[in-house]
Amino acid sequence: MENGIPDSQNPKPKPRPIVRIGIFIISHNLFFSVICCIGGILALFLLPLMAKNTYISENALMPGSANPMFSRYDTMEANKLVKDIMSMSLKPEETGIEIARLLAQRMEESGVEVYHHKFHEKISQFRPLHFFSDTTYTGLLLQNTSAIHGINTVGIIRAPRGDGKEAIVFVTPYNSTKIELSEALSIGLAYSVFSLLGRVTWLSKDIVWLAADSRYGEYTSVSAWLRDYHTPVFNGPESKENPTTGAGNTDFFRRAGTMAAALVIKVVEKHGETEKDTLSIYAEASNGQMPNLDLINTVHYLAVHTQGLRVKVEKVYTLLNLAWLQVMGQILESVSKVAKSLNSQWKFGMPAAEYVDGTATLASSLYYQALGVPTGSHGAFRDYQVDAVTLEISPRSFLNNEGRRTEFLLRGGRLMESVVRSVNNLLEKFHQSFFLYLMTSPSKFVSVGVYMIAFLLLLVPLPIAAAALYSGANNLGSNLTKDNQVPAFASTAKPGVQKSWRWLHAAKVVFIIHLWATIVSLLPSLINHIPEMTPTNNMFIWASSSIFILLILYSMLGSPYSHPTTSGCQNSEWATLKSVMIAVASIGLGLMSIINYATAQIGAIILVPMCLLVHPLKLTGRSGNSKAFLLVACNLVVAVIGFPPAGLAVIKGWSEGFGAVNVGDFWIWAESLWAWNSATYLYVVLIHFPCWVLCMNILLHPC
């Protein structure tokens, strides 16, 4: 367009409206960016208001339509088993095997198929090439730790008239080396429900009970069992006769069809403030995957409406006392009151306390999804597309209280039985309700359609800013070239070519940095092999080798500041670089939002301001007014927070006090992320970190 004939008599043809809107937006990019960013953050805070009440979408579930059959007789059985286990745990020697044997014997007595599943501790290894694929473990793993193993006890009820194509799984984790009363209670509860289900006539799906030996952690045992269930290894060493139990065929792995749903049952002694027994639901699996909302709804409905339990989901408790959040809640409440007085049909308001509560729950929901680490052993099921939740039941009184215990077991047993009955009614697998949602309270959720608004509002300024910067840099460049070269009367074609290819240099810089980030992301797998290292040392090695590689790359491929063009172009140089960086960042964020929305959302809150604000310090320093000073200050703050280790240190310092901050923390955090195959690690190292480095480049740009 700039090349158009500069004839004022002949007006340019008007561009199409859509182009005109585009030009308009780009020319006012600052205004739009600010509006969109503020709008995005505001929309995030408005999410609790936009949450909908949950409802049961799948009609076949019919929760609570049948009366539970779980009776006091069953609680007596549970109590008996609890006593047996606890008396056994008094004898310290080899309780691990004892409990497994006792459970197998009890299950066999109730005419159920039983087997023991032996597994080994999983060695956490960073395998960068198998990031999303589930690691198929080979014989190598079995050989090196063959001496010690955990023993899961698994019982299967075959549905009398079912066809055995589907199964419902319960899991009760217990620590076989040191069992506690609460774990014994959860086993007792599951056993009593299981033996009841062995007698009922309405089963259409098989029931599997996995008493998971959690001596190596709950998740390890469950995931080992699931791996052997779904991807057994046939060419492993032949399993010998089981010495633990006398019976011959209890070592043979049995299966029960496709899993429809799984429930992890835990009893926890929490001395809460409430007068009711409490049920906490944990649902987040790896990479922010959630079970179908219908499963949570069913549990919630049955717990609240038939058993009278208080249902909780996790929340960030520190948020509850924040003054500004309270103020925001009150403002929203008053706004909604005014709106309601204007039109009584506008009902979007909620009390301030409820808003604060919802925000705290939403924050925890976002946080756990963003972290990408499952919140319990239910996460192992999601890797095999099985919907699973952890139900943590805590009684209002002490567990030692026998009289109360019966009441508590009765509630818990009836809840489990009704949930199983409800899921048993399902004809299809869970598909009817949402998979992408955030919880704002046990009975309220925000679906993907709503929460994407906040993210998109944050994301929209990036392409606009990139376009604006690019066109601005081009304008500036062409002006400069015009000024320089019109007197020299150079050919008009040459600067045009040069100008249109100018972004190539910037793209090369961005590419080098991203390539470097990829190498940096793979470094831990090498560092991991160095024996006997503390996290701090590892961190230092990681950092120093990264810097070293960066220097090598610069020397090989050229540093970002060594542009071959004339010095006149330097001014627009950083703008082109920034525009390419922003474009790449927006692509990265968009991709991440598909993999894990919550990570992208939290990442965007930091990344978008950082990318938009960044401005070379030299340039701002030249102007020297208060606006420039503010910009510099903002830049520096964002640059510090944007550096992932520094950001982590700030968060940790804020939550735990700055004394606890350590250099090795980031290493530990990163290690936990890759142990869980969390895509958050990829996001931080492959998208966020190179953007930060490029921002540093621009900040320190010598223009």
Partner 1 sequence: MTFLRSILFFILLIQLFFVKSNGIDEEFTEELLLKPLPDRKVLAHFHFDTKTPPTKTYGHHHRLFPKAIYQLVQKFRIREMELSFTQGRWNYERWGAFDSMSSSNAKPPGVELWAVFDVPPHQVDANWKNLTQTLSGLFCASINFLESSTAYSAPAWGFRTFSGKLRYGALPREAVCTENLTPWLKLLPCRDKAGLASILDRPSIYKGFYHSQRLRLLSNEFSLDASAEAPGIVLEQTLTVVLQPHSHDTRSIYSDGRLLHPSWSISSIFGRAVAGKCVLANLSTIYVELESGVVSALNNLNVDLETGGHGADDMGSEGSWSNPGFELSVKPERVIKEVNSSHGKSFSILYEYSVDKYGDNEPFDLGFIWKLPMAWSCLHSPFHASRFLMGSGNQRGSIAISLRSTGSSSEGFIGGGDFFGDVCKVRVDIFQVVPWYVKVYFHTLQVYVDGKPELLKDILEKMHVSPSEDKVSPGVMEMVLRFPCSVKSAAVVIDFDKGFLHIDEYPPDANQGFDIPSAVISFPDFEPRMHFLDENSSSKSPMLLKLQEKNPVISYTEVLLVPLATPDFSMPYNVITITCTVFALYFGSLLNALRRRVGEEERFFKSKAANQTRLLPRLLAKLRGKQQEPTQSTSSSSLGRKLTLKIVLVAGVAIGWHYYTDYQSS
Name the residues that contact partner 1, by CB under 8 A: 10-11, 13-14, 20, 24, 27, 111, 134, 158, 160-166, 201, 230-232, 234-238, 248, 252, 254-255, 257-258, 341-344, 383-385, 427-429, 431
Paired strand residues for 628: none
At closest approach, how far in Å is the CB of 159 from partner 1?
A: 8
Nearer to partner 1, 60 or 268 (CB): 60
Q: How far is the CB of 673 from partner 1 (least distance, A)?
A: 23
Residue 101: CB minimum distance to partner 1, A: 18
Pick between residue 201 and residue 562 the one whose CB is nearest to partner 1. 201
Strand 387-394 and strand 278-282: pairing?
antiparallel
User: Which C-beta is closer to partner 1: that of 44 or that of 260?
Assistant: 260
* Closest to 213 measured CA to CA, from 154, 126, 272: 154
Question: Cα(428)–Cα(309) distance, rounded to whole angstroms?
Answer: 29
In the complex with partner 1, the residue whose CB is nearer, 62 or 304, is 62
Distance CA 47, CA 315 (A): 15
All residues at 6 or more sequence positions from 17 whose CB lies less than 8 Å from its CB, including other chains? none
Closest separation in Å from C-beta 429 to partner 1: 6
Helix (H, G, I), strand (E, B) or coil at 113: strand
Of the pair 27, 479, the CB lying nearest partner 1 is at 27
Least distance in Å: CB of 295 to partner 1?
15
Distance of closest approach, residue 307 Cβ to partner 1, in angstroms: 28
Buried b (16+ CB within 10 A) or exposed e, 35-66: ebbebbbebbbbbbbbbeebebebeebebbee
Nearest distance in Å: CB 226, partner 1: 9
In the complex, what is the shortest distance from the CB of residue 668 to partner 1, in angstroms, rounded to a whole number? 30
Note whether 36 and 458 are within 8 A (CB). yes
Q: In the bound complex, what is the minimum distance in angstroms from residue 569's beta carbon to partner 1? A: 27
What's the token pair of residue 8? 């004022």
Distance in Å, CB of 206 to partner 1, minimum: 10
* CB nearer to partner 1: pick between 219 and 503: 219
Please, which residue, 344 or 555, has the CB nearer to partner 1? 344
Least distance CB 699 / partner 1 (angstroms): 30
Residue with tokens 């809107």: 21
Rounded distance between C-alpha atoms, residue 366 and residue 359, angstroms: 10
Q: Which residues pair with 262 in a beta bridge?
A: 169, 388
Cα 316 to Cα 161: distance, rounded to the nearest angstrom: 46
- Tokens 């609890």 correspond to 82
Nearest alpha carbon to residue 259 among 299, 292, 230, 300:
230
β-bridge pairing 437-441 and 444-447: antiparallel
Quick one: residue 199, left, alpha or beta (phi over 0 = left, psi -120 to 50 = alpha)? alpha
By beta-carbon proximity to partner 1, the closer residue of 28 and 618 is: 28
579 within 8 A of 476, measured Cβ to Cβ = no
Q: Closest separation between CB of residue 161 and partner 1, Å?
A: 5
Locus of tokens 């927070």:
641
Name 530's Cβ contacts closer than 8 Å, sequence gap at least 6. Answer: 538, 541
Q: Tell me how far apart the alpha carbons of residues 496 and 491 are, in angstroms, rounded to a whole number.
A: 10
- Residue showing tokens 């408005």: 46
Distance CA(539)–CA(125), nearest Å, equals 17
Closest CB 58 distance from partner 1, rounded Å: 10
Q: With respect to partner 1, which residue has the nearer C-beta, 8 or 567? A: 8
The whole-angstrom separation of Cα 512 and Cα 428 is: 50
| Euclidean distance between CA atoms 19 and 16, whole angstroms | 5
Report d(CA 681, CA 517) in Å as an integer.
Answer: 12
Quick one: tokens of 351?
């009390």
Cβ proximity to partner 1, 91 vs 161, nearer residue = 161
Find tokens 């996995």 and name the residue: 210
Nearer to partner 1, 428 or 532 (CB): 428
User: Nearest approach, Cβ of 170 to partner 1 (angstroms)?
Assistant: 20
- Judged by CB, which is closer to partner 1: 26, or 325? 26
Token pair in block for residue 577: 């670089």
Residue type, 696: M
d(CA 691, CA 500): 24
C-beta closer to partner 1: residue 81 or 415: 81
Q: Which is nearer to partner 1, 164 or 644 (CB)?
A: 164
The full DSSP string for 248-265 is GGGGS----SEEEEEEEE
Rounded to whole angstroms, how far apart are CA atoms 103 and 96?
11
Burial of 442 (0-12, 13-18, 19+ CB in 10 A): buried
| Smallest separation (angstroms) from partner 1 to the CB of 530 | 35
Residue nearer to partner 1 on the CB measure, 19 or 526? 19
